[in-house]
């Protein structure tokens, strides 16, 4: 017959295993869901414009934002604003299209749009790249 401490230890191990399996399943489901989501990339002039475009897009459709990205091109001094910022919308294709339209309208009224693209079903590797941001760097 097992003693009480031995049984408690086994229960604790089973609980940990159960939690790890549950977390693994949730992570896999989350990754699969995000691969099924479209991504909209809206590159605009300046950070203020990016915030305004992101706000307009999120108010127009059921989307979420990925981290912004920035780029200071070699010809920065000749641009309306010397910093390019990419706003990244995620959601269904229809929602991303609506968010992109609203964001683009707002950006055009502020400093302008550099380019825009929608990827209906990005690959897993593309999804990973969406998490990279030059804002994290000096």
pLDDT (tens digit per residue) in 39-97: 999 999 999 999 999 999 999 999 999 999 999 888 888 888 889 999 999 999 999 99
Q: Is 79 left (phi over 0), alpha (psi -120 to 50) or beta?
A: beta
Give the pLDDT of residue 70: 92
User: Are 117 and 40 contacting, i.e. CB atoms less than 8 angstroms apart?
Assistant: yes
Provide the b/e sequence for 1-19 (b: ≥16 CB within 10 Å).
eeeeeeeeeeeeeeeeeee
User: Are 112 and 44 contacting, i.e. CB atoms less than 8 angstroms apart?
Assistant: yes
The residue among 133, 112, 122, 125 whose CA lies nearest residue 43 is: 112
How many other C-beta atoms lie within 10 A of the C-beta of residue 38? 21
Give the pLDDT of residue 36: 80
* Whole-angstrom distance, CA of residue 66 vs CA of residue 48: 17
At 131, is the secondary structure helix, strand, or coil? coil
Query: pLDDT of 86-102, one tens digit each?
Result: 999 999 999 999 999 99
């Amino acid at each position: 017959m097992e003693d009480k401490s031995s049984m408690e230890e086994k229960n604790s191990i089973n609980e940990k295993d159960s939690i790890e399996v549950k977390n693994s399943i949730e992570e896999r489901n989350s990754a699969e869901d995000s691969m099924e989501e479209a991504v909209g990339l809206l590159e605009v002039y300046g950070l203020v414009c990016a915030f305004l475009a992101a706000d307009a897009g999120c108010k127009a459709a059921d989307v979420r934002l990925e981290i912004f990205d920035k780029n200071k091109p070699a010809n920065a001094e000749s641009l309306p604003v010397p910093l390019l910022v990419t706003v990244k919308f995620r959601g269904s294709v229809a929602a991303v299209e609506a968010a992109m339209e609203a964001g683009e309208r707002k950006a055009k009224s502020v400093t302008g749009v550099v380019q825009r693209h929608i990827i209906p079903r990005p690959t897993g590797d593309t999804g990973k790249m969406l998490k990279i941001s030059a804002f994290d760097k000096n």
